[in-house]
Amino acid sequence: MPHTRSAPGSTQEPAPSPTPTPSLPPTFAGSGNLAIGYNPDGVRHTDSAVPTAPRSPVRHDYAATGPAPGRLGFRWINGSIVAATNTDPRVQVVQYNEDTFVLRQNVCVHWEAPFVYLLFGNEGALLIDSGATANPQHFPLRETVDAIVARWCQMRGRPSTPLTIALTSGEDIAQNQGLKQFIGRPRTTIVPPPIAAMKAHYGFAGAWPGATGMIDLGDRIIEVIPTPGTHRDGVSFYDPYCDLLFTGDLLFPGRINIGNDRDYVASLIRLRDFAARNPILFVLGGHIDMMFAPGRFYPRFATNKPYERILQLLPEVIDDALRHAREVQGRDMMLIRPDFVLFNGVSPDQRTSVWPEGVPQITPPYPF
């Protein structure tokens, strides 16, 4: 079409305005549900990424020659200076892989911010530990776990799957309080927290702490290793599918309060020997107290931890912990290492003015 020029003095018509994009009704939620309040209006819901439910149950092959691929976030939600103003999720969920999830309690709900692990197999799921808060309004652990289980069952073509809940220590109030939320839950087995009942459940009676137990999730068998030392009833869990060792309070990047130093050393020897026979990719504990700066750690009751160390420890930390646990055995002292701090027979608030030899002295940024 030829281009025409306007005559002098004439008024040129304005360019037509673009056709407005029709707005979606406020009730539109894609394939999600705005009523649950997890996503604000305008946010794309991830439900659209869920594949069509299979016509028959899907069985996964958990046999592998190496650790199953997985990914852990480098940074965790780190809380707020004023806990009452914090608006972060009460439970942070990281999907390590399609059958392994890492959950963390908000540090402003409880300052220890414990980690909880959810593992799936072909015949069931396992929840390791249960957090530090029983009130589901403050710490909606069951609601979160139920949502993950429902999504997993949808993808695997199952109406439901049984859940087992096991604790790294029934004595640890930072890991056993959420257990109350699961009382009465259908198809749920709770490993009893009392030490005698726990030993009987795993078949440890008469063989504690030398024997090992197992939890069969269906082609994914989790080994249970007695590891008392910080608690009388301490156990660790090993997942040969991902090559992950879950150690609770026994070994984690933080302030390790030794309850019985002889048991603690014996448990580390047991883990060292176990690691010599089984591949371990990461050691995953129950908390993070350490900063990224070696040997620096947050005090108790801190609700703002912007410079946290990463959660995962390399398996070599077992040898390092054993060597220094032997050093503090029989002595009332604290000992600082780059990735953890041992407290034996002293207050968990103990301080020292002597910086340990061999630990790089790096001052973290302010505030810390």
Instruction: Tell me if 88 is assigned to some domain.
Output: yes
Residue 16 has pLDDT above 50, yes or no: yes
239 contacts 119 by C-beta, under 8 angstroms: yes
pLDDT in tens, 17-50: 555 544 544 444 434 444 555 445 554 444 445 5
Amino acid at 110: H
Report d(CA 116, CA 286) in Å as an integer.
7
Average pLDDT for residues 336-344, to the nearest whole number?
97
Residue 360 inside a domain? The answer is no
Sheet with 282-285, side-by-side order of all strands: 213-216, 221-226, 235-239, 244-248, 282-285
Q: What value does the mean pLDDT take over residues 55-73?
A: 88
Lowest mean pLDDT among 39-43, 63-67, 334-338: 39-43
Q: Rounded to an integer, what distance in angstroms lies between the CA atom of residue 261 and that of residue 96?
A: 33
Q: What pLDDT score does 323 carry?
A: 97
The pLDDT value recorded for residue 214 is: 97
Q: How many domains does the chain have?
A: 1
The pTM for the full model equals 0.85
> Do 291 and 339 form a contact (C-beta atoms < 8 A)?
no
Domain that holds residue 213: 74-344
Residue 342 has pLDDT above 60, yes or no: yes
**Is 5 among the domain residues?**
no
Residue 333 resides in a domain: yes
Q: What is the pLDDT of residue 208?
A: 95
How far is Cα 308 from Cα 330, in angstroms, rounded to an integer?
31
Report if residue 1 sits inside a domain: no
Element housing 274 (H / E): helix 261-277
Looking at every residue in the chain, the average pLDDT score rounds to 88
Produce one character per residue of 293-309: b if its CB has 16 or more CB atoms within 10 Å, e if not: bbbbbbeeebbbbbbbb
CA distances from 22 to 11, 19, 27, 42 (A): 32, 9, 14, 14
- Domain CATH for 198: 3.60.15.10
d(CA 39, CA 24): 16
Q: Is residue 39 part of a domain?
A: no
More confident residue, 74 or 103: 103
Rounded Cα–Cα distance for residues 175 and 248 (Å)? 9
Residue 275 reports pLDDT greater than 60: yes
Share of the chain above pLDDT 90, in %: 77
272 within domain boundaries: yes
Asked if the structure places residue 79 within a domain, the reply is yes
